[in-house]
Structure 1
């Protein structure tokens, strides 16, 4: 009888120890995963901030160019009635600039998509390309 009780107690203790160890391991793994996720999020946020700053810098540079182009004509502003045909040509140039901006925007979104895809695949230890 005593032997059985001892055996039962030992088994229970072993089971408890095993459960505790498993719980500890799970907690540690979860904490590590959370830390990794936080680091990735921080990196993504930093990258986004850098990209936004670059865009703002690019926008500031473009604004300065537009302001100076109107004043460098050398023509008098009183002769605007005679230059109606020239104004139409200038509008076409503005459309080209808008197209370039659209292209840049599309490229930006494309590369951000690829970057996010790459990060998510790395996160799950997957490859999205063939070796």
Structure 2
């Protein structure tokens, strides 16, 4: 009778491929899918955590997916079935870090989207970038 307000329609979980929160109605368990995740293997994108700056930078082997997520969204599933890397996949992280700015009528910039999935070393970046001051 009240399917529109059923809590199942509002529950969300993360997609293992793109990392986005998606309603359960648009998710499929990874265990039920026979997908080729090799398309998500990207060199230079995934690194293991470094606890100290002296530790070497080591790349994570295999596809760039969120291991703790148990589902794949319908958009990612459709692209992976065609052996195409999904646009929002974690393997395309460098594209997702770029802010999309649109200019509005007054000439000012309006931030429409920005995805940053890890903390930035702001002080280090500030000291490296040339600035007036």
Shorter-chain-normalised TM-score: which range? under 0.3
Higher relative contact order (CA 8 A, sep 6+): 2
More strand by share: 2
More helix by share: 1
Larger Rg: 1
